[in-house]
Structure 1
């Protein structure tokens, strides 16, 4: 059985978007996401819960995920809707 990730309520909407996208790509657990991002699971849990995301950590995440510098600083993009659409499609086909 594939674990279903808990909903993310990050104060940083881009982080929530990134974690949702990672869940669709097979990184559905906090541990898998933290390993892929190169940060401790406890820290990722805190950031997802709303703790401030330090600039250095944001830069490391952007580098690790091959995102442009400052990507996490911008408001959530229209791609959030794309992630939701993909999730709906995956649920419908299951």
Structure 2
């Protein structure tokens, strides 16, 4: 049986949303998520803990995940006026 990951409480709501979606897609560990996002696991742990997400790192994550530029800077889909959780996110390749 696979361990259940702890809920993500990132200070960036879009990062938390992205990580939750990645967990559902099979990237359930911090290591797997950091590899897929192209950033060190320690850095991802810090961003989840509330460290500010630098603009250049955000743009790199968006590029790796095929998201529009600035997507990580917006409100979480649950907080957006439309409320569409898939808006701005592309299906995995």
Is the TM value for this pair above 0.5? yes
* Aligned residue in 2 for 1:72: 72
The answer to whether the aligner puts 1:16 opposite 2:36 as a matched pair is no
1:1-94 pair list within 5 angstroms: 1-77=1-77, 78=83, 79=85
Counterparts of 2:57 and 2:8, CA distance in 1: 18
- Paired residues in the alignment total 80
C-alpha deviation, 1:69, in angstroms: 0.2
Counterparts of 1:58 and 1:3, CA distance in 2: 28
Per-residue CA deviation, residues 15-51 of structure 1 (Å, 9 max, x unaligned), is 0000000000000000000000000000000001110
Output the aligned Cα RMSD: 1.1
Where does the alignment leave 5 or more consecutive residues of structure 2 unmatched? Answer: 78-82, 87-93
Kindly indicate which of the two structures has a greater share of residues assigned to helix. Answer: 1
1:3–1:29 CA contact under 8 A, matched in 2 = no
* Aligned residue in 2 for 1:90: none
* Aligned residue in 1 for 2:91: none
TM-score by length of 2: 0.83
C-alpha deviation, 1:52, in angstroms: 0.2
Runs of at least 4 residues off by over 3 Å:
none
Where does the alignment leave 5 or more consecutive residues of structure 1 unmatched? Answer: 81-94
Counterparts of 1:13 and 1:39, CA distance in 2: 18
